[in-house]
A and B are shown apart, each in its own frame.
Chain A
Amino acid sequence: MAGASAADVRSILSLPNPSTPGPSQLRRTPSTAEKARKPDGISRELYSLIGPSAPTLATQLAKPRLKQKPNLGSSGRVKWEWKQFNNGARGDGLKLSHWVKAGTNPEADYPFAKYNVQPMSYVFSHDEYTRLLEDKDWSKDETEYLFQLVKDYDSRWYIVHDRYDWEDGPERSMEDLKDRYYSVCRKLVRSRPWAGDDASRNQLIASLTFDKEREVTRKKYIASLESRTPRQKAEEDALYIELKRLEQNERQFKRDRDELLRTLLGIESGLPDLPVEEDGLISAPVDSKKKKKGHMSATAEPETPVSSTSNVPNVISLGQPQTKKSQSANSARYDATHCIHRTDVPATTSTTTKAAHAPVYLRSYKLPQPRAPSAAKVAQVLGELGISHTRLVMPTRENCAQLENLLEAATALVETKKVVDKVEQDIRIMKTRLGEQESGGGEEEAETGDTVPTPMDVDDNNDAEGEVNGRAQSVVSTRSTRSRRQSRRSVSISSVDTSGAVKRQKRG
């Protein structure tokens, strides 16, 4: 019937009949996918009519699945009985009672009896004692007393020592007791026939070793730690802080040196340009304070950290070290034929630290960037020339060098122009001022000084801002490099806008 109605729908909607005959398809589909995927809450007829594209509402008609109710009471309630039990861990016949489920075997072992573990205890015979265990400090009776105590208190030595009370003997320290006990045990294990293999025997003997001298020294050390005076403690703390500060200084110094290397040598330094914070141990305020201190020490007396620590990796050497001069001619030729350029890795930096590590990089990542203050201008100049300085089609070594030269030239040009503009502007201002003074009005002077429209004004907008904000910029520069970078980006964005304006002006 369902099949017939489906065919009706098809004919109403003037859909083409399926190529395969109806019955075979009908026989196939419900047996496999559709029947399996029929959601609850839809009748079979409806589902075969609308197929799997059931509206979502229909699935919500399904009976909500609730958490299954706990089955209480119906499956027979548990009966508990107050029953006597026998504790296997006891030596006598004390019968205590407790609640157990009815039907529990009354003869079963008490479940807690298994926790009554008796520790391994050693016993020696009189013969063994006279043969092996004689000791001028210890009598046999006292040794037996010691062994009894150790057994009674399960080798809890603090308790054994606490309860040790042998009238005739001398005052024994805990180390004396342990030493005697373990030495006797070792001798017993060694002298007796051993059932297992040698390894397990040696292991057992090793577990019974006791180094009395070491323990005594350790105890003394603990005692001396406790008997420190407050002054000594304060001094220790101060020394510790001093040590931390020195380490901090050293790290700061190294970071500064890396930065210096990067600034002086640029790409040739081989240092990654992102300064990596080595550790998050020092909190920010302390860090900044330390940084200042580090700066001061680095600038004032850069030798101090080096001389104080005299670590080889910390020796300052700004020039490239002459390390790989001993390359054989063979390898040089090989390099030449395969276009391999070997850059000298600065050996001054210890390769273990993250900051100093120069990872492998593509040369295109290291394209020279124009210097910060005139970056926008330089970019503009290059843009007018139709050169993209951020992307080289073939960033070979030579090309990079060329680009750098070009950038330098462009920077120099921009700088020069700026200076020229400034001087011209000054001259103009002076001239106007001179003219005003000659004509008279003192209060006009200031106004005109500000509002004189010059053709250069638009072009110089950014630079003027830079000049005005000179102080603000210097403040900014003391912040982290990241923020500086961001500010640079924002400047470049604004310069793009104005440069567009400039072009329009020029065209117009």
Chain B
Amino acid sequence: MVNYGGDEVSALVLDIGTSSLRAGYAGDDTPKAIIPTSYGYIDIPQQQQSAEGGGDGDVTMAEGDAATNGEAAPMPEQSSQKKVKLFIGQNGPSMWREGMNVANPVQNGMITNFEPIPPLIDHALREVMRCEPSEHPILVTEPAWNTSANRERMAEIMFEEFHVPAFYISNTGVLNAFAAGKGSAYVIDIGSSTASVTPVIDGFVLRRGIVRLAHSALPQLMQAHARHLLIAQTSRRPGIELWSHQLIASRQPVDPGAPPKFELRQDRIAGTTESWKAWAEAREVEEWIQSVAGVLDQGWNEQAASARGARHYEFPTGYSNYSSAAERYSVGEQFFTHSPQLVASNPNLPKTIPALISGSLSACEPEIRQVLMGNVVLTGGGSLFAGFVDRLQTELSRNFPHAKIHAPGNPTERRYGAWLGGSILASLGTFHQLWISREEWEEHGKAIVGQRCK
């Protein structure tokens, strides 16, 4: 037991990201529960509210939707007495429901709306993992730029609502470094909405290295670019309609490039909310990006791009076409360079990856820059973007000839790196002295979180 330093106390690890919420037992290599962070909700009309009266979860759970859904709890919105019904989990936002809106409590990697967080966690732990949180210590992750108010709120939710015996909150950057087996690392995390760089030394984040906004909404810019590419009309093709399959009644096969022949489900169109439509369209764009888009490994070069050839892709409407190489590779280029026109038109452009790296490195001691560059850890689902690792290597080796990138080939490790690091950390025998216990929480209050989780 002491040989490998592990001592499992059946702790839980919870990692909340923009696209998904991961939960599982510490000591496992993959999270047991992976559910989307986005959730659907339907406002409950006033008269129904009064009919329910003091009814809590059970009443609404009896409804048909809720039963298939796994989780539905009416919850009071912050100040107003308006009640909403939540749809969470794999069948939450992805199922079409009349009047259902979709929202995401996480913005830029940070939780901005704590209202749906307890139901989300509850769903992951109780419904998916079928475990009782009050029996397990829990380790939660946070981004490096998290506020202390936010982490205290998280501790409060855990202790007061889930009655966990012990709690700890740890930085995703540090955990990613641990998952790669490193104490000191330069973590480049490309999430679904945020790209960030975090210098980690001896298991601590260098705050100076992240103080100058070392994260940016680069993936969002990339997605917006791709969406614009698809819906804009070009000389070669008309703009593409991004209807999702939930709204399509029937379609017929057509030749590539020919206008699609499909019929919409008119019964659903009226009841579709704007937020759900936006969510569904974003998903279509994401699908297209993942199957078609890429980035050139040696910088933008029209010829090199055209040498890669076009690729076929079919949309849910039945429309299919060959995405030209220039189209495909211009998407990935957004990560590394911004065109001058774009910069001129938009002053608040998210920083590119090279800009992020140089900005955060210049804030570090010159002595440790080489150490950091020798231990670059690339993580996050966005880093699985085709050709990303090669391109990053090219960009880094320009300034740091000895830069070495650790990028796990296993996609699970790449996507859930922070969870994996948390799983390793929370199963270490030497870690158990760091837990904030319920006793300490009751004695010291919120201040203990800042003291213990440095």
Contact indicator A96/B365 (Cβ below 8 Å) = no
Size of chain A's interface in residues, with CB distance under 8 A?
30
B437 interfacial by beta-carbon distance below 8 Å: yes
Contact indicator A94/B165 (Cβ below 8 Å) = yes
B327 interfacial by beta-carbon distance below 8 Å: no
Residue of A whose beta carbon sits closest to that of B206: A162
Interface residues in A70-119 by Cβ distance below 8 A to B read 87, 89-90, 92-99, 110-113, 115-116
| Complex contacts, B105 vs chain A, CB 8 Å | none
Q: List 24 A-B contacts (CB under 8 A).
A: A89-B432, A90-B433, A92-B437, A92-B439, A94-B166, A94-B440, A95-B165, A96-B432, A97-B9, A98-B8, A111-B2, A112-B2, A112-B430, A116-B430, A153-B454, A156-B201, A158-B201, A158-B202, A158-B365, A159-B201, A162-B201, A162-B204, A162-B206, A163-B454
Given A111-B429, A112-B430, A116-B433, residue A93 in contact with residue B1 (CB < 8 A): no
Contact indicator B439/A93 (Cβ below 8 Å) = yes
Distance from B229 Cβ to chain A, minimum over Cβ atoms (Å) = 36
A131-175, CB under 8 A of B: which get 1 and which 0? 000000000000000000000110010110111000000000010
B435 interfacial by beta-carbon distance below 8 Å: yes
Contact indicator B454/A152 (Cβ below 8 Å) = yes
B404 interfacial by beta-carbon distance below 8 Å: no
Q: Which of B1, B166, B201, B209 contacts A96 (CB 8 A)?
A: B166
B225 interfacial by beta-carbon distance below 8 Å: no
| Complex contacts, B7 vs chain A, CB 8 Å | 98, 111-112
A219 to B369, CA, bound (A): 12
Residue of B whose beta carbon sits closest to that of A224: B366
B1-33, CB under 8 A of A: which get 1 and which 0? 110010111100000000000000000000000
Contact indicator A112/B429 (Cβ below 8 Å) = yes
Distance from B278 Cβ to chain A, minimum over Cβ atoms (Å) = 40
| Complex contacts, B435 vs chain A, CB 8 Å | 90, 94, 96
A395 to B45, CA, bound (A): 122
Distance from B159 Cβ to chain A, minimum over Cβ atoms (Å) = 13
| Complex contacts, A197 vs chain B, CB 8 Å | none
Residue of B whose beta carbon sits closest to that of A227: B366
| Complex contacts, B440 vs chain A, CB 8 Å | 92, 94
| Complex contacts, A36 vs chain B, CB 8 Å | none
A153 to B207, CA, bound (A): 14
Distance from A471 Cβ to chain B, minimum over Cβ atoms (Å) = 49
B255 interfacial by beta-carbon distance below 8 Å: no
Q: Which of B1, B10, B368, B437 contacts A97 (CB 8 A)?
A: B10
| Complex contacts, A219 vs chain B, CB 8 Å | 365-367
Where chain A touches its partner, the secondary structure class is mixed
| Complex contacts, A93 vs chain B, CB 8 Å | 437, 439
Size of chain B's interface in residues, with CB distance under 8 A?
32
A223 to B364, CA, bound (A): 11
Q: Which of B8, B430, B454 contacts A115 (CB 8 A)?
A: B430
Contact indicator B202/A159 (Cβ below 8 Å) = yes
B residues contacting A by CB (< 8 A) are 1-2, 5, 7-10, 137, 165-166, 201-202, 204, 206-209, 365-369, 429-430, 432-433, 435, 437-440, 454
A95 to B9, CA, bound (A): 10
| Complex contacts, A223 vs chain B, CB 8 Å | 366
Contact indicator A87/B432 (Cβ below 8 Å) = yes
A95 to B166, CA, bound (A): 10
| Complex contacts, A113 vs chain B, CB 8 Å | 433
Distance from A440 Cβ to chain B, minimum over Cβ atoms (Å) = 75
A96 to B165, CA, bound (A): 9
A443 interfacial by beta-carbon distance below 8 Å: no
| Complex contacts, B208 vs chain A, CB 8 Å | 162
Residue of A whose beta carbon sits closest to that of B431: A112
Residue of B whose beta carbon sits closest to that of A223: B366
Interface residues in A449-493 by Cβ distance below 8 A to B read none
A381 to B208, CA, bound (A): 90
A446 interfacial by beta-carbon distance below 8 Å: no
Distance from B138 Cβ to chain A, minimum over Cβ atoms (Å) = 12
A98 to B2, CA, bound (A): 13
Where chain B touches its partner, the secondary structure class is mixed
Q: Which of B204, B429, B437 contacts A94 (CB 8 A)?
A: B437
| Complex contacts, B8 vs chain A, CB 8 Å | 98-99
A150 to B203, CA, bound (A): 16
Contact indicator A174/B439 (Cβ below 8 Å) = no
Distance from A409 Cβ to chain B, minimum over Cβ atoms (Å) = 67
Apart from A97-B10, A112-B5, list 6 A-B contacts with CB within 8 A: A94-B439, A112-B7, A152-B454, A156-B202, A158-B201, A219-B367
| Complex contacts, A110 vs chain B, CB 8 Å | 429, 432
A84 to B2, CA, bound (A): 17
A438 interfacial by beta-carbon distance below 8 Å: no
Contact indicator A174/B10 (Cβ below 8 Å) = no
Q: Which of A87, A97, A222 contacts B433 (CB 8 A)?
A: A87
Contact indicator A96/B433 (Cβ below 8 Å) = no
A393-419, CB under 8 A of B: which get 1 and which 0? 000000000000000000000000000
Distance from A113 Cβ to chain B, minimum over Cβ atoms (Å) = 8
Residue of A whose beta carbon sits closest to that of B202: A156
A127 interfacial by beta-carbon distance below 8 Å: no
Residue of B whose beta carbon sits closest to that of A158: B201
A497 interfacial by beta-carbon distance below 8 Å: no
Distance from B399 Cβ to chain A, minimum over Cβ atoms (Å) = 9
A163 to B201, CA, bound (A): 12
Contact indicator B433/A163 (Cβ below 8 Å) = no
A89 to B5, CA, bound (A): 15
Given A90-B433, A92-B439, residue A159 in contact with residue B204 (CB < 8 A): yes
| Complex contacts, A98 vs chain B, CB 8 Å | 7-10
| Complex contacts, A92 vs chain B, CB 8 Å | 437, 439-440
| Complex contacts, A161 vs chain B, CB 8 Å | 365
Contact indicator A89/B433 (Cβ below 8 Å) = yes
| Complex contacts, B201 vs chain A, CB 8 Å | 156, 158-159, 162
A314 to B418, CA, bound (A): 63
| Complex contacts, A87 vs chain B, CB 8 Å | 432-433
| Complex contacts, A163 vs chain B, CB 8 Å | 207, 454
A59 to B241, CA, bound (A): 85
Contact indicator B137/A96 (Cβ below 8 Å) = yes
Residue of B whose beta carbon sits closest to that of A100: B1
Shortest beta-carbon contacts, A-B, top 7: A112-B429, A94-B437, A89-B433, A96-B9, A159-B204, A222-B366, A223-B366
Contact indicator B9/A153 (Cβ below 8 Å) = no
A301 interfacial by beta-carbon distance below 8 Å: no
A213-224, CB under 8 A of B: which get 1 and which 0? 000000100110
| Complex contacts, B430 vs chain A, CB 8 Å | 112, 115-116
Residue of B whose beta carbon sits closest to that of A96: B9
| Complex contacts, B367 vs chain A, CB 8 Å | 219, 222
A279 interfacial by beta-carbon distance below 8 Å: no
Contact indicator B202/A226 (Cβ below 8 Å) = no
Q: Which of A111, A116, A158, A222 contacts B206 (CB 8 A)?
A: A158
Residue of B whose beta carbon sits closest to that of A160: B204
| Complex contacts, A158 vs chain B, CB 8 Å | 201-202, 206, 365, 368
A94 to B435, CA, bound (A): 9
| Complex contacts, B9 vs chain A, CB 8 Å | 96-98
A158 to B440, CA, bound (A): 29
Residue of A whose beta carbon sits closest to that of B10: A97
A111 to B3, CA, bound (A): 11
Residue of A whose beta carbon sits closest to that of B371: A158
Residue of A whose beta carbon sits closest to that of B451: A152
A87 to B428, CA, bound (A): 13
Q: Which of B8, B366, B440, B454 has the most CB of A within 10 A?
A: B366
| Complex contacts, B5 vs chain A, CB 8 Å | 112
| Complex contacts, A99 vs chain B, CB 8 Å | 8
Contact indicator B369/A162 (Cβ below 8 Å) = no
A110 to B7, CA, bound (A): 10
A153 to B208, CA, bound (A): 16
Distance from A233 Cβ to chain B, minimum over Cβ atoms (Å) = 10
| Complex contacts, A94 vs chain B, CB 8 Å | 165-166, 435, 437-440
